[in-house]
Structure 1
Amino acid sequence: MVMNASMFRSVLASILLFLVFTASAQSRDSNSQLIKRGEYLSRVGNCTACHTAPGGAPLAGGLPMALPMGRTFSTNITPDSATGIGTYTEQDFSRALRKGVAKDGHNLYPAMPYTSFVKVNDADVHALYLYFMHGVRPVQKRNRQPDISPLLAMRWPIKIWNAIFLDSKVYEPESSQDAQWNRGAYLVEGLGHCGACHTARGVADQELALDGSRSGFLGGALIDNWYASDLTGDSNTGLGQWTEADVLEFLKRGSNRHASSFGSMVDVINQSTQGMTDADLAAIAHYLKSLPPARDSIEEKAAYVSQSTFAPSIPADRTPVQSGKGLYTIYCLQCHGADGKGMTSLIAPLQRNPNLLETDASSLINLSLHGTGRVVIQGGPAAYPMPSFGAVMSDRDIAEVLTYIRGSWGNHADAVEERSVALMRSRTKSPAE
């Protein structure tokens, strides 16, 4: 059969139409996969926790964040074109994420952890951009102005700060390490921005170390009246007694045989790490366990001792029931046990818990006063969250019971002073109080 010109054109048009349709379908499928990838990466970066105000729409901003000179508020990062980032190009998005510069050219405060996000590679930035543009519901909500005096609110000094402290290089794999270690380092140092909380800061509020090549990285730090834990290999206050499996379990469940999450780490567990793949969590654990004990010149860590030599005395004007041991019996023993071992994965152990051995007792005091949020794993809330005792225990009571706990069952840490509890109570009281 001889094909005439009309029939040839018809067949050619059908073929071209099929190819265009196939290419379009493949493009849509590719974009769909990238959007899904971007959603996962946003969970790794825990974007929702910082960019969602209590009771507010997801990613619409408004969460207050403390700075040395006052408070700023997280911004609307939904794709709303009027109040969010809907008009951002991918280049604009990358510059804000990795350089801390908004579309209109103003510098973002370093409360936005762009000093860590700068390490994120181009492929992941692209996936994140597609997700925020096409996978997030736009919300019209104007950004709240910083609660900072006009003189201190000027942004131009941030340019100088960036020139001094911003390392603008994307993460480069270490050839001397395996693929799992490099993946863990990329997540911890980059999108996971663990150092933003767990690394001490200098006089200019800069992180003293941005990766494991410098001492002090992830060695623990005071932030928002909590002490973010030491994540290095310190046997006393860090992860020295943990296995990689212990680290993975903690990130997946919010607790393990050594400790339980508290403070802002509860949000990290709820909204970030429990939704990460086991492979990525194992990579993080592998990397963290490779870090040597932090040797921060700001604070010295005591060597671990297996048995306590510290026995808090009972003041002469106090009865045994009112002493730290008596207070422990009344308020703590039912959950944590007479031996301080708690109940694995349900109630935090007090014996050799690294947070109890930390020199800075801020987290212990804050936790005793106010309790902690509830970890929710796959929709199931934790059965025994730490309750608040601030209303029923005095500053002296809390100081004494913490002193007793920090000196019992093989623990060996300094006494907690009553004035430290009073100061924390004052700093953290609600406006209604």
Structure 2
Amino acid sequence: MKHCTFSFTTALGAAALLVLAHMPQARADSAEDLVAKGRYVAEASDCSACHTIKGGRPFAGRMEFKLPIGSIYSSNISPDPAHGIGAYSEAEFARAVREGVRRDGASLYPAMPFPSYARMSDSDIHALYVYFMKGVQPVAQAAPANGIPWPMSMRWPMMFWRAVFAPSVASAQKDVNRTFPTPAIARGAYLVEGPGHCGACHSPRGIALQEKALSASTGTVFLSGGAPIDGFVPTSLRQDQRSGLAAWSEDDIVAFLSTGRNQKGEAFGGMTDAVYHGTQHLSPEDLRAMAQYLRSLQPNSPNAPAWHYDSAAAAALQHGDASARGAKVYVDHCAACHRTDGHGYAPAFPPLAGNPVVMSDQPDSLVHIVQSGATLPGMSKAPSAFVMPSYSQMLSAQQIADVVTFIRGAWGNNASPVDAATVTSLQKSAPPRVLEEKPVPLN
């Protein structure tokens, strides 16, 4: 019995030594896992798109946002203690991200989408904090002073804005935990409504620039289309005919979020940034969950008629009849890529027939793309880049109005015409957007 006791205790001690020997590595692995998870959450939250400028250090801020009241600049969110967030405790970091309050107690402007981030879980916030503190290099660089004149520059009134329009963390978390048809749709709702903050662009805003809805639980206005941003009008992400995603399959949405292109369209403007910096890095399971959630959203305009292809314009062009307004300009400058039948060569060159961007009540996006062009960069799953040239120096305002009118009216699109005055006004109000491209691992 004595021998057995000695053997048992010896074995127990040896096992304990083995556990202790592996504890530092286990802790290291745990820290590495948290940094990796935090990086993933940062990508899902699209942090880099706003806090990293072209040619700048990661997360050093300085990106300009031109608002009706002046310009503001994104802050440095690297872990530099003087110019960044290095001195923030985790509680202070969580308050800034989810409640819009800085470490010094001042309110953040709602260009920071804290009303959406209020929905983020404690575990995601913790991982995000660990990532920024341990996985990001500090940058000793201050952001420029905001260009908003007094008295609009005062931050203290923002506490009233937050009280009225921003949800508390508790109420946001309660909404996150509402009942969903499937766990996948619940996950998709969390990503779209929370870290993805899709409603910040794709939902309409009120007179105080607040989002009119922050989740699908409040009705069909959520994700029903937003106001112009840098010359582009965010479309409806609901199952709306003509203006939304009713014609997109689940696979179409997954392909778009992972590559910025599919058989129905391509990303442009701020959505290019969102895919390049954010959604292309998400797992197939999360992309599928987001697609299933978006497919579950009822249309905001349930009585809108579906788009049906009309071959009349294609037949006229194919028989050499370019007498319709803008048809000659289209044949000379557009048909090589988008074809006389409007179907394009997707996913390289998107179709114009039945495209929600083309059929929008607001022609801003289409006009701006013709004026300024667009670049779709290579993505990890689609390394080829495609460029739409700018025609602002080649075509007059009247010619642009004519060709946009032709595109909006042909192939069953049946959208309203555009005049030269509208083209001129849109050109003045839409500064070009520069995408900060980074190497993407092709894996």
- Please say whether Structure 1 and Structure 2 have the same fold, judged by a TM-score greater than 0.5: yes
How far, CA to CA, are the matches of 2:369 and 2:429 in structure 1?
13
Identity of aligned residues (%): 38
1:182 equivalent to 2:182? Answer: no
Deviation at 1:269, TM superposition (A): 1.4
1:22-421 to 2 correspondence within 5 Å? 22-168=22-168, 169-170=172-173, 171-213=175-217, 214-221=219-226, 222-295=228-301, 302-307=304-309, 323-378=325-380, 381-421=383-423
Instruction: Return the letter of the residue paired with 2:189.
Output: A
Answer yes or no: is the 8 Å Cα contact 1:310–1:412 preserved in 2: no
Answer yes or no: is the 8 Å Cα contact 1:323–1:401 preserved in 2: yes
Answer yes or no: is the 8 Å Cα contact 1:236–1:301 preserved in 2: no
Answer yes or no: is the 8 Å Cα contact 1:218–1:230 preserved in 2: yes
Answer yes or no: is the 8 Å Cα contact 1:309–1:412 preserved in 2: no
Q: Deviations over 1:144-171 (max 9, x none)?
A: 2111002110001110001001112225
Instruction: Return the letter of the residue paired with 1:410.
Output: G
Q: Deviations over 1:58-77 (max 9, x none)?
A: 11000011333111100101
SS in structure 1 at match of 2:178: coil
- Equivalences, count: 414
Identify the residue that residue 314 of structure 1 maps to in structure 2.
none
How far, CA to CA, are the matches of 1:384 and 1:333 in structure 2?
16
Answer yes or no: is the 8 Å Cα contact 1:359–1:413 preserved in 2: yes
- Seen in structure 2, the aligned counterparts of structure 1 residues 364 and 255 have a Cα distance that, compared at 3 Å, is same
Deviation at 1:375, TM superposition (A): 2.2
How far, CA to CA, are the matches of 1:308 and 1:414 in structure 2?
16
Output the aligned Cα RMSD: 2.6
Q: TM-score, normalised by structure 2?
A: 0.88
Answer yes or no: is the 8 Å Cα contact 2:327–2:403 preserved in 1: yes
Instruction: Return the letter of the residue paired with 1:272.
Output: G
**Contiguous gaps of at least 5 residues in structure 2:** 4-9, 314-320, 433-443
Instruction: Return the letter of the residue paired with 1:79.
Output: P
Deviation at 1:215, TM superposition (A): 2.7
Identify the residue that residue 7 of structure 2 maps to in structure 1.
none
- Seen in structure 2, the aligned counterparts of structure 1 residues 12 and 429 have a Cα distance that, compared at 3 Å, is closer
How far, CA to CA, are the matches of 1:281 and 1:12 in structure 2?
47
Instruction: Return the letter of the residue paired with 1:183.
Output: R
Answer yes or no: is the 8 Å Cα contact 2:241–2:307 preserved in 1: no
SS in structure 2 at match of 1:93: helix
How far, CA to CA, are the matches of 2:146 and 2:303 in structure 1?
37
Instruction: Return the letter of the residue paired with 1:334.
Output: A
Answer yes or no: is the 8 Å Cα contact 1:69–1:148 preserved in 2: yes
